[in-house]
Structure 1
């Protein structure tokens, strides 16, 4: 691939070399190109680029010019700069006497108007109103000072304006996006993360209230014991109240534990996915810590998903292997890895299908396995493989290779809704942990797996930008 790419680029360079030989630009024109490129790199703002565009023709060829740029949101053509007035204020940019946008060179009595074309390869990142790659117009005058060779040069010069303009517009858009993301992070912390902490306080108060009710229940029991020999009718009435209170307390405590688990689950994912470091670094930033997968990740998720699997008629075969938990030391970002399993379990619910086995029995099953791979990541560096098998139509080998690509959806998904993003997220998270992912089509379904290094260095910092 590298050699082929090198040969293709060399061929493209030869094409350009041949083209410039045909162009046969004059020395002054070549110097004008060089000056334009040097200054376009030196000055990064759009306003300075506008000034460069109109001053180069004037200083080199004594030609006046007007620069019109298409507003990429409104689709309105605006006069932004002239060689006689410089940059125009925003209020003066719209002009009723604006020339018509055209893809070919046009002329008036006194001027030539050249289209400014953008970089087609960048159009998908910065589309313009109208769906074309024309970014604006470059008007040159007086036209009687421009011969055919000069007009050809100005056409090429306009193309260079377009490519530089497109890149700077894209840079400006990216800067605006970064500013928005920074503001969004602050809003998330203020309006989502911080208020979420109040639920923890609420849970603590609820727990205290339940404890008080239990104490009240104990006092009522003591009172019942006292009244047994004093007043049988009162004792019977108190017993009824006691049983009602006990039932209510049991139900309240059950609801409390369910609410607490949901809060912990939601808080973990909020902190993990909306972590400030992710936005500031532009990638997932790991906060590694020792993690017991069985008790801290798998069991809580299975508790939530078992009723969902049961409702879908899916049998769960949970085989963790004959590996004691204490032998599996994994330093991972618990929140991100939990989200990996969340995606895999969610997909299992959606895409598991009923099949007929070799004995003719109908089965609809999810199977979870874990096993150690000796020296998988090199001599003495073992791996732990986590696998989830789901029954259904096996993928083709080609589809299995593409399964983790962004936006890819296999042919066996039927009418199930999805974006094709979940498994791509899984791949990203596993790979920044130093692991790998894969899919193995089987006779009665498919196995999706990921492998993580068994043990990271004990000296590993708690937070790492992978």
Structure 2
């Protein structure tokens, strides 16, 4: 939990709200912090005009837009309250301060300074000036253009301060703390606006430079397919002509030509399958609406699970399974005989299976099956669950199981957290994002994910609403 009033005067470490699993503990923590703040303000003993000045600052900081107006508010309150003039220095990079605001007329802005005996990590009185560091919110330094040294965004200089009472200096220090946190949030908002503008521009570039050119590949594939068909026709004519000639050597060359033509077609089919999958993934992940709405947006339609999702992904990974010695075997549990169709986002669910199959290649281990066979095994399956959601709506449970020892997890759901990697998978490269992506997609469909260790294997499953077109709605 961040402290909106600036650095914690009690010296306590900040506490994140998500560290509290129990709401009552969270409420109690907030109550204690409120009491601490009440005690702090009793100790400050601010005057009524000073308290009003803080309230006015927050009101105007929210009301007035633009960085220059914000600086004007920051500088005019000390002038009105204490007849103090001021300058605001902001860090341009880790070592350079820029004069960003000055309450005096004719002041030349954008003069630069470096860290010195006045601009330090502490409050400094120098001559007639008081220099107070402007703090950032240490919880969000990763959202700034650079990590500010000493958690300082800049310095607030006020003058004349030679006769400034101590209790007024205390107020000004607390006032600058509030400036720092407000300024930090303004910087973040500005960066977010720039980020959104970039994303909108990038979406247009993706459509123009990626999606549209990718569509031309289908045209080229169609042309190549016609050429391969022409090659087969020509090959058959050559073979027929050679057969009439009766030349054994030429017939052998003709047979080799036919094999080459068949091999070219086989390679074409494999490349085309990869193209179709890659194109689907590309167009699914780079949908314009994802970027416009800031989240994955589903495009759902009824799809055959086997022919539309599973078979294309199994074909894609089949050769890699073979290279790793992974056998698809349903001794670990398998699919029912009947086909199954339901409403889903085919592109995103296909990527869920792609992530699970990719993990299988990395982490499947050798085991012994009940029939005595030893090896690396993978199985997959599904089961319709009647009245699963709300006791009235059906669901479908889908799983991929791979042979191997149980994952070392304190909580089975840990494996679906972003960036999480179990201790026993460190030997393989990975980012810890794949299963988190699966969880996002499944939850967006209104479902849930899970992991469990079954006899001789690890099962990753997800449960989705079993929705069908009205004509075939599940009962």
The normalised TM-score by structure 2 is 0.88
Q: Which residue of 1 aligns with 2:51?
A: 30
Q: CA deviation at 1:159?
A: 0.3
Superposition CA RMSD, Å: 2.5
Mapping of residues 162-173 of structure 1, within 5 Å: 162-173=180-191
Matches within 5 A, 1:215-226: 215-220=233-238, 223=241
Deviation at 1:403, TM superposition (A): 0.7
Aligned to 1:144: 162
| 1:123 corresponds to | 141
Q: How does 1:102-121 map to 2 (within 5 A)?
A: 102-121=120-139
The separation in 2 between residues aligned to 1:316 and 1:236, in whole angstroms, is 44
User: For 1:18, which of 30, 36, 39 is the aligned residue?
Assistant: 39
Residue in 1 that maps onto 2:343: 331
CA contact (8 A) 1:394 1:443 kept: no
Give the secondary-structure state (helix, strand or coil) at the position aligned to 1:124: helix
Tell me if structure 2 keeps the 8 A contact 1:81–1:88.
Answer: no
Question: Can you list the C-alpha shifts for 1:289-310, whole angstroms capped at 9, x where unaligned?
Answer: 1111101111111122222112
Asked if structure 1 preserves the Cα contact closer than 8 Å seen for 2:89 and 2:154, the reply is yes
2:80 maps to 59
Matched, 1:85 2:97: no
Deviation larger for 279-288 or 57-66: 57-66
Distance 1:78 1:335 in 2: 50
**Who is 1:40 aligned against?**
61
The answer to whether the 8 A contact 1:438-1:449 is kept is yes
Deviation at 1:82? 0.6
TM-superposed CA distance for 1:220, in Å, is 3.9
Q: 1:331, 1:88 → 2: CA distance?
A: 65
Give the distance between the partners of 1:208 and 1:18, measured in 2 at CA: 83
Structure 2 residue 282 is the aligned partner of structure 1 residue 264: no
For each residue in 1:152-207, what CA deviation from the matched residue of structure 2 results, as whole angstroms up to 9, or x when unmatched?
11001110110101110111111122122222222222222222112111101101
State which of 422, 438, 462 in structure 1 corresponds to 2:450: 438
**Matches of 1:5 and 1:304, distance apart in 2:** 48
Give per-residue Cα distances to partners, 1:384-426, cap 9 Å, x unaligned.
Answer: 1111111222124514231100111111114111111100000
Shift of 1:108: 1.3
Question: Residues 357 and 316 of structure 1: is their aligned pair in 2 closer, same or farther, counting only changes over 3 Å?
Answer: closer
1:256-405 superposed matches below 5 A: 256-318=268-330, 320-325=334-339, 328-356=340-368, 362-396=374-408, 398-405=410-417
Instruction: Kindly indicate whether residue 207 of structure 2 is the aligned counterpart of residue 186 of structure 1.
Output: no
Supply the distance in 2 between the matched residues of 1:357 and 1:87 (Cα, whole angstroms): 82
Q: Which shifted more, 180-189 or 420-429?
A: 180-189
Shift of 1:52: 1.3
Distance verdict in 2 for CA 1:224–1:104, change over 3 Å? closer
Relative to structure 1, is the Cα distance of residues 254 and 356 closer, same or farther in structure 2, using a 3 angstrom cutoff? closer
Give yes or no for contact 2:94–2:148 (8 Å, CA) kept in 1: no
Q: 1:197 — aligned with what?
A: 215
Aligned residues: 448
- Consecutive unaligned residues of structure 2, counting only runs of 5 or more, are 1-21
Q: Separation in 2 of the partners of 1:393 and 1:238?
A: 58
1:223 Cα deviation after fit: 4.8
- Report which stretch shifted further, 352-361 or 378-387: 352-361
> How far, CA to CA, are the matches of 2:408 and 2:268 in structure 1?
47
Task: Supply the distance in 1 between the matched residues of 2:388 and 2:41 (Cα, whole angstroms).
Answer: 54
Change (3 A) 1:100 1:108: closer
**Cα 1:256–1:363 shift into 2, 3 Å:** closer
Structure 1 regions of 5+ residues with no counterpart? 460-466
CA distance in 2 between partners of 1:61 and 1:78 (Å): 25
The alignment partner of 1:437 has SS state of: strand
1-structure distance, mates of 2:115, 2:226 = 75
1:241 Cα deviation from its structure 2 partner = 5.8
User: Could you say if the C-alpha distance between residues 259 and 280 of structure 1 is closer, same or farther in structure 2, counting changes exceeding 3 Å?
Assistant: same
Q: Compared with structure 1, are the counterparts of its residues 252 and 355 closer, same or farther at alpha carbon in structure 2 (3 Å cutoff)?
A: closer
Q: Distance in 2 between matches of 1:99 and 1:82?
A: 20
